[in-house]
Amino acid sequence: MSLASGVSIQDECITAFNDFRMSHGKTKFIIFKIADNKKEVVLDEVSSDQDYEVFRGKLESAQDSKGNPAPRYAVYDVEYELGGSEGKRSKIIFISWVPDNTPTLWSMIYASTRENLKNALNIHTSIHADDKSDIEWKTVLAEASGGKAGK
Amino acid sequence: MSVTNESIWAASPSTTRGQPTQLSSDAKGERLAYAANKSIFLRSIDDPAVAKQYTEHKVQTTVARFSPSGFYVASGDVAGLVRVWDCVGDGILKGEYSIINGRINDLAWDGDSQRIIAVGDGKQRYGHCITWDSGNTVGEIYGHTQQINSVAIRQQRPLRAATAGDDKKLVFYHGAPFKFNMGIGDKHSNYIYGVGFSPDGSTLASVGADRKIWLYDGKTGETKGQIGEGEHTGSIFGLSWSKDSKKFVTASADRTVKIWDVEAGKAAQSWTLGEEGAMAVRDQQVGVVWPPGRSDNLLISLSLSGDLNYLVEGTPKPRQVVQGHQKNITSMTQSVTGDKETLWTGSFEGRVCSWDVASGTAEEIEGDSHSGYIAGLAPTSEGAGRIYSVGWDDTIRSVDVAAKTYTGGTTKLTGQPKGIAAGDSTVLIGAAEAVEIFNDGKKTGEYKTKFAVTTVAAHGAIAAVGGEDGSVEICDVASSSLSSRTSIKASRNQISTICFSPDASLLAIGDLRGRVLVHKVTDGTLVTDRWTAHNARITSLAWNKAGSHVVSGSLDTNIFVWSLANPGDWLEVKNAHKEGVNGVAWIEDSAKIASAGADAAVKVWKVEGLK
Amino acid sequence: MNSSNPPQAAEYGGDEVSAIVLDPGYSTTRAGFAGEDAPKSLIPTYYGKYNANGQEKLIFGDDVFVTPRPGLSVHNPIGKDGIVEDWDLAEKVWEYSFTSRLTGGKPGNPFQNGLNDIPHEELPTEMEVETHEKPLADSPLLMTESGWNPAKAREKTIEVAMENWGSPAYYQARTGVLAAFASGKASALVVDIGASNISITPVHDGMILKRGVQHSPLGGDYISSQIRALFKSNSPQPITITPHYLISSKTAVEAGQPPQAKYKTFPPEKAPDASYRSLLEDRTLSEFKECVVQVWPGPNKLAATGPTGVSNEEMARTTPGRPFEFPDGYNQVFGADRFRVVESLFDAKAALPDPDSPFPAPTQAQTVPELIKASLGGVDVDIRPHLLANVVVTGASSLLYGFTDRLNHELMQLFPGPRVRISAPGNTAERRFASWIGGSILASLGTFHQMWISKKEYEEHGPNIVEKRCK
């Protein structure tokens, strides 16, 4: 067992993610957060908005109860074209968003809970983002496609 | 949407005082190969604005030579590595060989384009013979006791080679494999700088610091005699044979280039480079090449200043002098006069050049120049157009745009300038904790800031001052003072550069850690902070004409083009300039971008389909 | 640091437990209550030893510095490689770190003792703790350790905590992981510039990648030895550091002029050991590091010619120097030398030679860029770009001016392809105490109780449980 916060994952997170996986692209993203009581990861938002900008904007503007920039976890269904006969692909990517001006307390809790959530959802493609360029579509697309699309 | 390289306006060859510099030409006489800083440039002889750059060496490069077949180039560096690469395609590496433990001074190919001898200033040995494709040993270089300066291989069988160096000795080898045949130590009385076999293999010539020229039999190495005693009055740094083997050319520290008629043993022509009496040192001739395969009898000599002099046999004056920067270009600006666009670049050692955008030709600004690092250039419409320059010699000078010379006086600044900007009628200079205000070259005022100034920008009657603490102050400019309008705490890091949009409504701000931010000029509000893909100091920013896109250059070697409408979608040029981009500008009606960097080159990029 | 606020258990969501976080370094030992922003107790790991009336006496904490007792010698229970050498004394020093300012002489209510700080001077200067009850009987303990702490040492540590201190619960966390987490990252390349060691710890998904852990002795103490070497060869005159305790008065002198000070002298039988003087000299050196020393920011080594062929040395000489005044009043401006004393962290050849130095001349393999290269060489190719994009700089000596700029340049040159990004907290306390702060936050979380090794588990499995539970 590696060092971890012990923060638990609420069942609704797992359920929502399973629905997401089954929705075949209808659901576009889920955002998770750690509750203010620092005990559990809860659902923040499930959305079917297809516009990446909407998703990006939500991460960018996430705040804690004191109005500080706040971290989030998210999963996003990235669709991309490989060109030629390869056609369309899609991949679900896990994003941990810890903007670099996050207070240390929350940085620590999010970092030490990340693996538990990622493992619970069983996703292997992930991005750690602490800078705005890390959550730009370009970056996310490159990571999801293994560098094959969007370069 | 794309950005692609259109041209590379090459750096001039790197030179060192008192040391020969090798120039090489391909067999057809179309291109030159030479070493500049950490790059190798392959440059078209007929159109010097066309060049390729090879950037795989990790340290200072020293020499590059085309293979006789014309497919490959072998290049050496100060760490003793020789790299052989494809010069027809994309520069694919064919082999990398560690030859010696020190600077490679010269290398030579055999006539089959199979074998390479590289020599230099090693610790265990002074040179080595290898095959180009596998690095297998094909001989040994020994018999010298000090660094070897030059090597030549006879291009036909039987194979012969000659090396010569600081021990005043010429060593003759039989091959292959190359083996020591004899050492000739009683001819030159000082360092030998150059050796060369005539293309027909009949004659070997050597030149050196003793100003002497010796000739030997190409097959046996037997001394044939000395010619031209007393003609050159300075060290002879190099020689190059004509393709008919009847003549060769020498370059000397006495600022002359001479053609020698071998049979007559006499100089057939002599050029003296540079103006009479002026700047003697920079006009020393440190290298020369007589490109084969040309019909115009052109030969090219290299001045210590990096100038490439195009000399034509039979005509007394250089046909053309190709100029440029030898060192890190530290700043760039642009001017437009009528329909003539000009880029102005300043470099590390204080040189300023103008570049005609249409032709890609550079001219070095003459006159009373800076003695160190050019910290900034700014164009004004004063007179018939002037470029003001500030340098780490703590002075401001001005260049007349049309005459391309320094005019007016030199004004001492209070300290090291942190940048320069020109408004309608004033020039602003960032000082330690103030902005100095100049009108028509005279200081008229000073504005104290609350922070240590790192950069200044101006547009009409507005100025922006960036600080070490990450703040930017927007000011109104009067003829002798500034008055503060808005203060922005733009970044947690030091502000490194600022640029106003063409209508002065927006301010692009770059910081030390690679962020580009856009703020409104009127109230300082943030427009975007999403442009964070650089990861080292932003050195230069420029808005396109429409004010819709910003190009950024960074010390991280990359150039990015950002869109205000689509802040998440940017264009990238990675590794645009080895060791950092220091200047960017939009040219040709914002259809292209010009950039300059630490590799001393200027590059032009075509931008298409901006969104 | 000397915050007198009680641990705000409620705010941090912790329950009744107020755990103690102990971050034992080579130069200093940091201890405090979980949930606080900074360690309340910061003491030197050095301890003093002297003879009084034929009896050996020990001094701990800042009191080591205070009185130059006859024969007082200074020792460190931790070896140069950061691993404990003298367990008895390590235990005593650590115990002092929490009993002196946190738990007090008698075990029990840490709240009260945390609240009512006893003024420093009134603390007993010598350890006379003779307790029947164990000092941590009520406090869970989270301790930190380096990535290369051997299994034996880990087991010994939990033994001390559980058996000698009576801690009801225990956890041992790697400093590298804590520093990565404190920067919000589960994967990071942690570059820790400490006093006795510099280390590179690759952390992936919250786990240390052991094969990639690299360390070398070119830390703060090594830099001090380089400064000493500089002082010896200084011009206009060699500089001797005379600590304050040897000076009775001084008068101001012009820069570069010999000091005009009156010195105290100790007859041999009254004089403290040379190690005492050396420790006090180090304090001046620390100050010198903060005020004067600067890392050549790059690009390229100080000895290299820049991209332009002009030597960086030349550039260094043209930057304005920095003045420094020594305890005896001697003062001068330090120019390019202030770059030279740290250059060997990046370029071994630049080390200032000093035959008397306890540090042998460094090898290139010990420098920061080479350690990073070796570290990345030991991890899977696929994760290297992720690590390079998440370099976390920590450790007090990383606060040297210009360090992160230089590191950035070195890394960009070493790895021109992938994106290199360094995060280094701007806040001094966070840089010095990143591991402690990380441990403090974790141990304060209510949910962390699942991680603790309880007394019962320890008794059942033995000390080996630390290997299983604290990976």
Nearest neighbour of C447 by CB, restricted to A2, A7, A71 = A7
Do C127 and C58 meet the contact criterion of CB atoms below 8 Å apart? yes
Answer whether residue C416 shows pLDDT above 50: yes
Helix (H) or strand (E) holding B24: strand B24-25
Largest CA distance in chain A: 51
What residues in B contact C412, CB-CB < 8 Å? 535-536, 556-557
State the chains in contact with A (3 or more Cβ–Cβ pairs under 8 Å).
Answer: B, C
- Going along chain A from its start, the domains and CATH numbers come out as 8-102+113-144 (3.40.20.10)
| B347 with C420: Cβ contact below 8 A | no
Report the gap between the CA of C182 and the closest CA in chain A (Å): 5
- Tell me the backbone φ, ψ of residue B66, rounded to 5 degrees: -70, 145
Q: Mind listing the pLDDT tens digit for each residue in C65-75?
A: 888 889 999 99
Report the gap between the CA of C12 and the closest CA in chain A (Å): 8
A45 touches chain B (CB under 8 A): no
Report the gap between the CA of A71 and the closest CA in chain C (Å): 9
Q: How confident is the model at residue C9 (pLDDT cuts 50, 70, 90)?
A: very low
Same topology, domains C20-46+92-181+434-469 and C220-429? Answer is no
| C181 with A71: Cβ contact below 8 A | no
Residue B48, preceding peptide bond in cis (omega within 30° of 0): no
| C299 with B555: Cβ contact below 8 A | yes
Measured CA to CA, the distance from residue C245 to residue B138 in angstroms comes to 70
- Coil, strand or helix at A144: helix
Answer whether residue C174 shows pLDDT above 70: yes
In terms of C-beta distances under 8 Å and separation of at least 24 residues, what long-range contacts does B443-448 make, across chains too? B443/B411, B444/B479, B444/B480, B445/B479, B445/B480, B445/B481, B447/B475, B447/B481, B447/B482
Largest CA distance in chain B: 84
State what percent of residues in chain A have pLDDT above 70: 98
Q: How confident is the model at residue C308 (pLDDT cuts 50, 70, 90)?
A: low
ipTM: 0.93
Listed by start position, the domains of chain C span 20-46+92-181+434-469, 220-429
Q: pLDDT value at position A148?
A: 77
Measured CA to CA, the distance from residue C337 to residue C340 in angstroms comes to 5
A7 touches chain C (CB under 8 A): yes
Measured CA to CA, the distance from residue C428 to residue B70 in angstroms comes to 59
Answer whether residue A83 shows pLDDT above 80: no
| C412 with B556: Cβ contact below 8 A | yes
- Tell me the backbone φ, ψ of residue C185, rounded to 5 degrees: -115, 135
Q: pLDDT value at position C104?
A: 61
Measured CA to CA, the distance from residue B535 to residue B532 in angstroms comes to 8
Answer whether residue C395 shows pLDDT above 50: yes
A136 touches chain B (CB under 8 A): yes
Q: pLDDT value at position A110?
A: 96
Q: Mind listing the pLDDT tens digit for each residue in C87-98?
A: 999 999 999 999
10-residue mean pLDDT series, chain B (611 residues): 94 94 95 96 96 93 95 95 91 91 95 95 91 92 93 95 95 92 93 96 96 95 93 95 95 95 93 78 94 92 96 93 95 92 94 96 92 92 89 92 88 91 91 90 92 94 94 93 93 94 96 94 94 93 96 95 92 92 95 96 94 80
Measured CA to CA, the distance from residue B72 to residue B67 in angstroms comes to 5
Whose tokens are 């367990």? That residue is C87
Q: How confident is the model at residue C16 (pLDDT cuts 50, 70, 90)?
A: low
Tell me how many residue pairs between chain A and chain B have CB atoms under 8 A apart. 19
In terms of C-beta distances under 8 Å and separation of at least 24 residues, what long-range contacts does B246-250 make, across chains too? B248/B196, B248/B198, B248/B205, B248/B290, B249/B288, B249/B290, B249/B299, B249/B301, B250/B194, B250/B207, B250/B213, B250/B288
Report the gap between the CA of A39 and the closest CA in chain C (Å): 6
Do C387 and C379 meet the contact criterion of CB atoms below 8 Å apart? yes
| A133 with B529: Cβ contact below 8 A | no
For range C160-178, the mean pLDDT: 94
| B580 with C307: Cβ contact below 8 A | yes
Q: Tell which residue, B242, B391, B254, B208, has the closest CA to residue B314.
A: B242
| B348 with C426: Cβ contact below 8 A | no
Q: pLDDT value at position C306?
A: 64
| A137 with B531: Cβ contact below 8 A | no
Q: Mind listing the pLDDT tens digit for each residue in B559-596?
A: 999 999 999 889 999 999 988 999 999 999 999 999 99
| B348 with C310: Cβ contact below 8 A | yes
Q: How confident is the model at residue C54 (pLDDT cuts 50, 70, 90)?
A: confident
Is it true that domain B20-322 has CATH number 3.60.150.10? Answer: no
Length of chain C: 471
Q: How confident is the model at residue A111 (pLDDT cuts 50, 70, 90)?
A: very high
Q: pLDDT value at position B263?
A: 92
Answer whether residue C109 shows pLDDT above 50: no
Highest mean pLDDT among A100-104, B599-603, C53-57: B599-603
Domain C220-429 CATH class label: alpha beta
**Residue C73, class by beta-carbon neighbours within 10 Å (0-12 exposed, 13-18 middle, 19+ buried)?**
middle
CATH architecture group of domain C20-46+92-181+434-469: 2-Layer Sandwich (3.30)
Q: pLDDT value at position C309?
A: 59
Which residue of chain C comes nearest to B599, CA vs CA? C307
Nearest neighbour of B328 by CB, restricted to C308, C416, C426 = C308
Nearest neighbour of B532 by CB, restricted to A53, A133, A137 = A133
**Residue B317, class by beta-carbon neighbours within 10 Å (0-12 exposed, 13-18 middle, 19+ buried)?**
exposed
Tell me how many residue pairs between chain B and chain C have CB atoms under 8 A apart. 45
Q: How confident is the model at residue C298 (pLDDT cuts 50, 70, 90)?
A: confident
Measured CA to CA, the distance from residue B197 to residue B215 in angstroms comes to 10
Q: How confident is the model at residue C418 (pLDDT cuts 50, 70, 90)?
A: confident
